[in-house]
C-alpha cells in the first residue's frame, strides 16, 4: 500500500458515509406502504402502520413466498431458493430499501404512500 491507496480509502469512506447519512435524512417520516411485485406485476400493496401484524403468502417462481409485516417493517419469512438470500436479509423499513428474491422473481419495495395516487388508482 502506498500514499495514493490511503487517499483512495479516505475518499471512499467519506463519500459513502455522506451518502448513507443523506439517505437516512431523506427517508420520509410519513406513512409508508410496501409494494410486492412478481416480475413487473403489482401483487400486493401493504400499508405499514403501527400495530399491524399479518403474514401474506404470494406465488413466486419456485412456489410460495411468505411475507411478514410487523408494525412498520416487512420481511420475507420463507421462500424456496438455493441460498435463501432474501429471507436472510431480514427486516426492511426505510423508503429507499427493497428486498429482491431473484430466483422467485419477487421484489418488495417500500414507498411513501401518497393520498393523490390512491385517488388516481
Partner 1 sequence: MELQKNARLSLLLAFAVVLNIIENSIPLFGGHIPGLKLGLANSIILFVLYIYSFKDAMYISILRVFLVAILRTGVFSQAFFFSLMGALLSGGAMFLTKKFTKLSIVGVSIVGSIFHSIGQVLMAIIILNNNMIYYLPWLLIFSIPTGIIVGIISKELVNYFKNDLQNFEN
60 touches 104 (CB < 8 A):
yes
- Of 77 and 102, nearer to partner 1 (C-beta) is 102
Q: Is 12 in the site for partner 1 (CB under 8 A)?
A: yes
When binding is defined by CB under 8 A, the residue of 25, 29, 83, 115 that contacts partner 1 is 83
**Angstrom distance (rounded) from CA 43 to CA 65:** 12
Q: Which three cell numbers stand for residue 92?
A: 426492511
Nearer to partner 1, 80 or 100 (CB): 100
Residue 10 vs 52, nearer CB to partner 1: 10
Cβ contacts of 50 within 8 Å, gap of 6 or more: 71, 72
Distant-in-sequence, close-in-space partners of 99: CB < 8 Å, separation ≥ 6: 74, 75, 76, 86, 89, 92, 107, 108
Q: Please state, in angstroms and rounded to a whole number, the distance separating the CA atoms of residues 79 and 93.
A: 20
Residue 86 binding partner 1, by CB under 8 A = yes
Contact in structure between 19 and 5 (CB atoms under 8 Å): no
Least gap, CB of 64 to partner 1 (angstroms): 20
42 binds partner 1 (CB under 8 A): no
Q: Tell whether residue 102 is a contact of partner 1 (CB under 8 A).
A: yes
* Smallest gap from residue 32 Cβ to partner 1 (A): 15
Residues that bind partner 1 (CB under 8 A): 1-2, 4-5, 8-9, 12-13, 15-17, 19-20, 23, 40, 83-86, 88-90, 96-98, 100, 102, 107, 109
Amino acid at each position: 500500500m502506498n500514499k495514493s491507496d490511503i487517499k483512495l480509502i479516505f475518499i471512499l469512506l467519506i463519500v459513502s458515509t455522506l451518502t448513507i447519512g443523506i439517505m437516512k435524512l431523506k427517508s420520509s417520516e410519513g406513512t409508508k406502504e410496501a409494494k410486492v411485485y412478481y416480475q413487473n406485476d403489482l401483487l400486493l400493496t401493504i400499508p405499514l402502520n403501527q400495530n399491524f401484524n399479518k403474514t401474506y403468502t404470494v406465488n413466486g417462481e419456485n412456489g410460495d413466498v411468505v411475507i411478514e409485516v410487523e408494525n412498520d417493517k416487512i420481511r420475507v419469512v420463507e421462500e424456496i431458493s438455493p441460498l435463501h438470500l432474501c429471507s436472510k436479509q431480514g427486516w426492511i423499513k426505510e423508503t429507499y430499501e427493497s428486498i429482491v428474491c431473484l430466483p422467485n422473481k419477487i421484489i418488495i419495495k417500500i414507498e411513501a404512500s401518497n393520498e393523490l395516487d390512491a385517488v388516481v388508482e
